[in-house]
Amino acid sequence: MNTNPSTVAVLGPGGVGGLAAALLARAGHRVVCLAGPDTTQALRTEGLTVRSNRFGDFTVPVKADTQLRDQVDVCLVAVKETALSTALNRVDPRVLGSGLVVPLLNGIDHLPPLRARYRAERVIAATIKVESTKVAPGRIEHTSPFAAIELAVPVAPAARAGLDHLAVLLEGAGFSVSLRRDETAMLWDKLCFLAPMALLTTRYGATVGDVRARCRPELLTLIREITSVARAAGGPVDAARILAMFDQAPAAMKSSMQRDAEAGRPLELDAIGGSVLRAAEAHGVETPTLAQIVTELGADLRGKAAR
């Protein structure tokens, strides 16, 4: 049992947030999951159940509520970008106080609104690499052999102690954790890998292995366009390294966007593809293949909504 437990709020106990909440609770920390009424009731009644080849199969009790009622040491923000603005109403800045805010979101555009709403120096940029899915409220399937979190070292020295504590907390729960000095490079590193994977697996309804085999020319073009945008935005990302990461990913891996499309849920098309397009326009980088794919996926979404 953890002899020095922390109190952690998890906003959005879905695939990513639910896994984090369960691992932290199993490590002995006090975890409060913040969600809608139905999920809150399910968690209060049945707790969180995880099925994972890496972490094993287990069930842990957690606290659950629709609103943050008390101060916490850390608030992990793990909702989809499509639900972010509404979900943040569950975390009043006055209640959160000096707690760290750690967004485990896709894309690069979520940090400014979070830093405008909460204490800017207490919002720690982070990325997570994991394949984890909520199959029902409180039931999580973790299918990737990895669960890695990167944390950006904050500019404000006063926040560094909190960051070091957070890294220890997450490592103790089972995550692989690394610290990055360059926030911009960290965020673009993930987006340059995630955007091609999410867009192509969703466009073709295919796994990563199928995309590698069937759509390689398009994959190469997309990686080249997106890494060009990243470099223009200040993220020194190498296209060859991103391709190597893609080639090393499990062949059966699916993106969360693809799973959302299969389930008929809203897609993070704007957070992933749209954020790159906005940066491309701001820095004068041509991205015709990316623009075409985002446009086609957007049209497909609008067509399904109209039916």
Interatomic CA distance for residues 235 and 227, integer angstroms: 8
Residue 181: predicted pLDDT: 93
Domain of residue 269, CATH code: 1.10.1040.10
Residue 156: predicted pLDDT: 73
On whether both 233 and 195 belong to a single domain, the answer is yes
On whether both 85 and 17 belong to a single domain, the answer is yes
On whether both 35 and 150 belong to a single domain, the answer is yes
On whether both 172 and 258 belong to a single domain, the answer is no
On whether both 25 and 126 belong to a single domain, the answer is yes
User: Of the residues 181, 214, 247, which one is the last residue of a structural domain?
Assistant: 181
Residue 303: predicted pLDDT: 63
User: Of the residues 127, 158, 181, which one is the last residue of a structural domain?
Assistant: 181
User: Of the residues 137, 153, 181, which one is the last residue of a structural domain?
Assistant: 181
Give a yes or no: residue 248 inside a domain: yes
On whether both 207 and 170 belong to a single domain, the answer is no
Residue 300: predicted pLDDT: 78
Give a yes or no: residue 243 inside a domain: yes
What pTM does this model have? 0.93
On whether both 55 and 110 belong to a single domain, the answer is yes
Q: Minimal CA–CA distance to 260: which of 218, 304, 219?
A: 304
On whether both 196 and 264 belong to a single domain, the answer is yes
Give a yes or no: residue 234 inside a domain: yes
Give a yes or no: residue 1 inside a domain: no
Tens digit of pLDDT at every position of the chain (307 positions): 465 789 999 999 999 999 999 999 999 999 999 999 999 999 999 999 999 999 999 999 999 999 999 999 999 999 999 999 999 999 999 999 999 999 999 999 999 999 999 999 999 999 999 999 999 999 999 999 999 999 999 877 767 878 999 999 999 999 999 999 999 999 999 999 999 999 999 999 999 999 999 999 999 999 999 999 999 999 999 999 999 999 999 999 999 999 999 988 889 999 999 999 999 999 999 999 999 999 999 987 766 655 5
On whether both 159 and 196 belong to a single domain, the answer is no
Pairing of strands 126-136, 139-152: antiparallel
> 153 lies in which domain range?
7-181
Give a yes or no: residue 2 inside a domain: no
**For 94-127, b where at least 16 C-beta lie within 10 A, e where not — what string?**
ebbeebbbbbbbbbbbbbeebeebbbbbbbbbbb
Residue 159: predicted pLDDT: 72
Interatomic CA distance for residues 61 and 18, integer angstroms: 12
On whether both 140 and 76 belong to a single domain, the answer is yes
Residue 302: predicted pLDDT: 66
Number of compact structural domains in the chain: 2
Pairing of strands 58-60, 48-52: antiparallel
Give a yes or no: residue 43 inside a domain: yes
On whether both 143 and 78 belong to a single domain, the answer is yes
Could you please report the per-residue DSSP string of 82-97? GGHHHHGGGS-HHHHT
Domain of residue 141, CATH code: 3.40.50.720
On whether both 160 and 286 belong to a single domain, the answer is no
